[in-house]
Amino acid sequence: MTIRTVLRMGEPLLLTVAKAVTEFDTPELHALIQDMEDTMADMHGAGLAAPQIGVSLRVVIFGQKENDNTHNPRYPDADKVPYTVLINPKLSVIGQAQEEGWEGCLSVPGLRGLVPRYLHLHYTGFDQYGHPIERTVSGFHARVVQHECDHLDGLLYPMKMTDLTTFGYTDVIFPDQTLP
């Protein structure tokens, strides 16, 4: 169990396009994913991208394991998203419909902002064993995938905001809730 340090906005690696994974089911890849899982759990993240722990590879994890029935305290109203390891993802938007929603990021601690995201999404990729993944998703699941995959292209959610007046400190915007 290794909880890694999450890089914060300002770190050049977070602005770098990550490289594709070329070998699956290796001890290095399994160790990376284990560290990402431990780090995400410790920080109650809804997702985590490898560049956030300093590894510039196209690997993201997101969602909650089946036996975890708790609500994520960072996103108490969110629909449950199945725990997923997604490598070398490819996203294609379905339709042009977008929806605004509150986002935070472990690399931008203490802040929240409203971010428009595509509502419907088809994505493909691989798990850590090289098995293909293909899904069509909507809503919060689609939002999380877009947020995490943006990290692989060096994009953080404030760069996707269209109204910066909604950008602020979590405890100021949501004074009655304790969102980590």
Residue of minimal Cβ distance to Ni ion: 105
Site string for Ni ion, 62-81 (x = CB under 5 A): --------------------
Closest separation in Å from C-beta 93 to Ni ion: 19
DSSP state of 125: E
Q: Which stretch binds Ni ion (CB under 5 A): 84-92, 101-109, 159-167, 170-178?
A: 101-109
CB of 28 to Ni ion, least distance (A): 23
Could you tell me which residues are beta bridge partners of residue 132?
Answer: 126
Q: Within a 13 Å sphere around the CA of 112, how many CA atoms are in the beta-carbon half? A: 18
Map the footprint of Ni ion across residues 10-39, applying CB under 5 A.
Answer: none
Q: How far is the CB of 26 from Ni ion (least distance, A)?
A: 25
CA atoms of 16 and 2, how far apart (whole Å): 24
Asked about 148 being catalytic, the answer comes back as: yes
Give the separation between CA 176 and CA 170, rounded to whole angstroms. 10
- Total interface residues for Ni ion by CB under 5 A: 1
Cβ neighbours for 161, distance < 8 A, ≥ 6 positions apart: 113, 114, 115, 167
Cβ at position 27, least distance to Ni ion in Å: 27
Of 105 and 121, the one with the shorter C-beta distance to Ni ion is 105
Identity of the residue, 105 or 142, whose beta carbon is nearer to Ni ion in the bound complex: 105
Q: For residues 130-151, b (16+ Cβ closer than 10 Å) or e, as one string?
A: eeeeeeebebbbbbbbbbbbbb
105 binds Ni ion per the rule CB under 5 A: yes
Q: Which of 23, 103, 134, 148 is catalytic?
A: 148
Instruction: Point out which residues bind Ni ion (CB under 5 A).
Output: 105
Residues marked as catalytic? 148
